[in-house]
């Protein structure tokens, strides 16, 4: 086998290893919103194979003080070990800062099914408008009001639907 062919094969093997490790890590559930995976949430930033053959996973927490970060790291390490990556490196990267734009469409769908209104998407010109249209995840009405800027977790607010009168969490846009 030529040196070029061997290098191509090694690259393909590394890509397959990284893809396998990414699949294992991507399935880890967020401990605060257990219907979302860390991939749905957009905090799984990358998976690479290091020169020494170990796998490195990069996570960006939803905010730097997120109390779930250590739990997520441990769960990623556990999931990787269960798939044969016992010596994986899991690191946190804070820049660029996580944004709700990184939540996948699948993640947004899961939030609604779980009864949480997903965050609005930002306009190209800047942050979300001061008055954000928030639809009730229970009945779909846009006739909702803010009850409290603070919800069940730091990343959510509490809203009430004026139509069905049910309270619900709203994932804050960042």
In tens, the pLDDT along 123-141 reads 444 454 456 789 999 999 9
In tens, the pLDDT along 52-106 reads 999 999 999 998 888 899 999 999 999 999 999 999 999 999 999 999 999 999 9
Task: Give the up-direction half-sphere exposure of residue 127: CA atoms within 13 A in the CB hemisphere.
Answer: 6
Q: Which residue has the tokens 């049910």?
A: 166
CA 135 to mean position of chain CA atoms: 21
- 5 falls in which pLDDT band (50, 70, 90)? very low
Which is nearest to 172 in space by CA: 89, 126, 116?
A: 116
CA 154 – CA 25 distance, rounded (Å): 24
Say which CATH class 3-98 falls into: alpha beta
The pLDDT value given to residue 155: 86
DSSP 85-152: -TT-EEEE--SSPP-GGGS-HHHHHHHHHTTEEPPPPPBTTBSPPSS-----TTT--S-EEEEES--S
Domain with CATH 3.30.300.130 in the chain: 3-98
The pLDDT value given to residue 11: 64
Question: Greatest CA span in the chain, whole angstroms?
Answer: 70
CA 148 – CA 159 distance, rounded (Å): 7
Structure tokens belonging to residue 73: 């790291």
In tens, the pLDDT along 106-121 reads 999 999 999 999 998 6
Tell me which of 4 and 20 has the higher pLDDT: 20
């Amino acid at each position: 086998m030529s040196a070029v062919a061997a290098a191509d094969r090694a690259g393909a093997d590394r890509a397959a290893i990284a893809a396998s490790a990414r699949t294992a890590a991507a399935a880890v559930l967020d401990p605060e919103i257990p219907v979302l995976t860390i991939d749905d949430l957009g905090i799984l930033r990358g998976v690479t194979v290091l020169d020494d053959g170990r796998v490195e996973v990069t996570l960006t927490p939803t905010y730097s003080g997120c109390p779930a970060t250590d739990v997520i790291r441990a769960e990623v390490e556990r999931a990787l070990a269960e798939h044969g990556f016992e010596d994986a490196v899991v690191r946190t990267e804070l820049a660029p800062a996580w944004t709700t734009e990184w939540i996948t469409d699948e993640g947004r769908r899961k939030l609604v099914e779980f009864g949480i209104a997903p965050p609005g998407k930002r306009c190209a010109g800047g942050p979300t408008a001061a008055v954000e249209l928030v639809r009730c995840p229970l009945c779909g009405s846009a006739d909702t009001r803010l009850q409290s800027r603070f919800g069940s977790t730091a990343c959510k607010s509490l809203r009430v639907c004026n139509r069905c009168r049910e309270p619900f969490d709203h994932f804050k846009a960042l």
